[in-house]
Amino acid sequence: MPQTNRQVRLAVRPSGLPRLADWQFTNEAMPAPGPGEFVTKVSHLSIDPAMRGWMNAGASYVPPVDIGAVMRAGGIGRVTASHNDGFAVGDYVYGTFGVQEYAVSDGRGVLKLDLSLAEPTAYLGVLGMTGLTAYFGLLDTGRLKEGDTVVVSGAAGAVGSVAGQIAKIKGCRVIGIAGGQEKCRLVTEEFGLDAAIDYRLPHLRRTLRELAPGGVDVYFDNVGGEILDDVLTCLARGARIAICGAISQYNETQVRGPANYMMLLVAQASMTGFLVFDFASRYPEAMAELAGWYRAGRLVSRETLVTGSVEDFPETLLKLFEGANTGKLILALDG
Ligand SMILES: NC(=O)c1ccc[n+]([C@@H]2O[C@H](COP(=O)([O-])OP(=O)(O)OC[C@H]3O[C@@H](n4cnc5c(N)ncnc54)[C@H](OP(=O)(O)O)[C@@H]3O)[C@@H](O)[C@H]2O)c1
């Protein structure tokens, strides 16, 4: 029987949380590489909050996924056939391969993984876009400096867990915000932050004031919404807020903006959004530093691995919005 390529395509643009009916499962013939191309058998898919935005129509930092197109996704895998001199059969690679079992590429935007540095899945987490986002958001956009009081939301998630640890490495006092007691335990005991606040409990603002009496110098925001509004009331003079994302808003039909933005004026603070892709020319320097910390045991990598097939993608994506992951959420493709 000829080998096939199972895929997940966007069928309908969702309103609110994506439903199973928003997806279409297809099964095509296994692709063959053309001149200058190679085929990768995808082993692991990166599951990202940004995927929800890519499903919407309208302008963003990347074009929306077209209706009927294979869902966009970062992934890693092994080259199984190649007509490209830069990529040999057996190479482990990272690329935007999409939610499918096999992907054809001409090598643009594809990175060969150095498995002497770390195991392959680390390139979706601490040594991948996740780690790079934390690194540049904190050090460049957040202009972090030693001795700062830093707050990170989504602190037990993929980017947040790395951001909190980098801030500790850089000599800051770091407070993580996460959902639930178990995640808060992880934030202090495993990621080594100084304190953690469970945002599901009442009085976040009061607790933050108690933990940061001198105010917050840097807020690395992954979640937006009410938590952003609370942190805005606790800023130190000259504070920097790095807007990494706003997962609390991604399934809302009406996005809620920060009501307390005038606190930026009061604290002479700034709030700046950033995109990791803007730092692409500096990825090598950041990866070298992240890899150094990782190998020295100073940066802990956490992954939530779901094992299944591409058909498990829709359900796995929802786990992000349910808070079911700690660290990087990855769909490992069996078979
Ligand atoms: N700017 C960039 O270039 C860039 C690049 C990559 C990612 N991002 C953004 O960075 C953020 C984190 O991404 P990630 O990949 O590390 O994902 P992640 O933090 O692992 O995302 C999942 C976590 O978000 C939290 N969450 C879900 N719904 C929430 C809500 N309503 N309120 C508060 N927290 C909620 C949950 O943790 P709890 O259990 O703690 O609620 C969940 O486990 C996202 O906003 C993403 O879009 C930005």
**How many whole angstroms from 90 Cα to the centroid of ligand 1?**
33
**How many whole angstroms from 254 Cα to the centroid of ligand 1?**
18
Which ligand 1 atom is the nearest neighbour of the CA of 159?
Answer: 16
Rounded Cα distance between 23 and 43, Å, is 21
**Nearest partner of 95 among 77, 120, 71, judged by Cα:** 77
Residue 317 in contact with ligand 1 by CB distance below 6 A: no
**How many whole angstroms from 222 Cα to the centroid of ligand 1?**
5
Interval 167-180: pLDDT, tens? 999 999 999 999 99
Among 54, 152, 159, which residue has the most ligand 1 atoms within 8 Å of its CB, making it the best to mutate? 159
**How many whole angstroms from 327 Cα to the centroid of ligand 1?**
10
- Is a pLDDT exceeding 80 seen at residue 285? yes
Rounded Cα distance between 49 and 318, Å, is 9
- The mean pLDDT of the chain is 97
- Mean pLDDT calculated for residue range 238-251: 98
| pLDDT given for residue 270 in this prediction | 98
Rounded Cα distance between 72 and 55, Å, is 9
Residue 241 in contact with ligand 1 by CB distance below 6 A: no
| pLDDT given for residue 59 in this prediction | 82
- Is a pLDDT exceeding 70 seen at residue 62? yes
Interval 173-220: pLDDT, tens? 999 999 999 999 999 999 999 999 999 999 999 999 999 999 999 999
**How many whole angstroms from 43 Cα to the centroid of ligand 1?**
23
Among 141, 222, 301, 306, which residue has the most ligand 1 atoms within 8 Å of its CB, making it the best to mutate? 222
pLDDT band at 2; cut points 50, 70, 90: low
Residues near 229 by Cβ (< 8 Å), separated by ≥ 6? 258, 259, 260
Rounded Cα distance between 124 and 247, Å, is 19
- Is a pLDDT exceeding 60 seen at residue 127? yes
- Is a pLDDT exceeding 80 seen at residue 1? no
- Count other Cβ atoms within 10 Å, centred on residue 35: 7
- Mean pLDDT calculated for residue range 44-48: 98
Rounded Cα distance between 228 and 20, Å, is 31
Interval 108-125: pLDDT, tens? 999 999 999 899 999 999
Among 130, 198, 247, which residue has the most ligand 1 atoms within 8 Å of its CB, making it the best to mutate? 247
Which ligand 1 atom is the nearest neighbour of the CA of 328?
Answer: 20
Residue 245 in contact with ligand 1 by CB distance below 6 A: yes
DSSP summary character for residue 70? B
Rounded Cα distance between 117 and 261, Å, is 43
**Nearest partner of 218 among 275, 267, 290, 278, judged by Cα:** 267
| pLDDT given for residue 58 in this prediction | 87
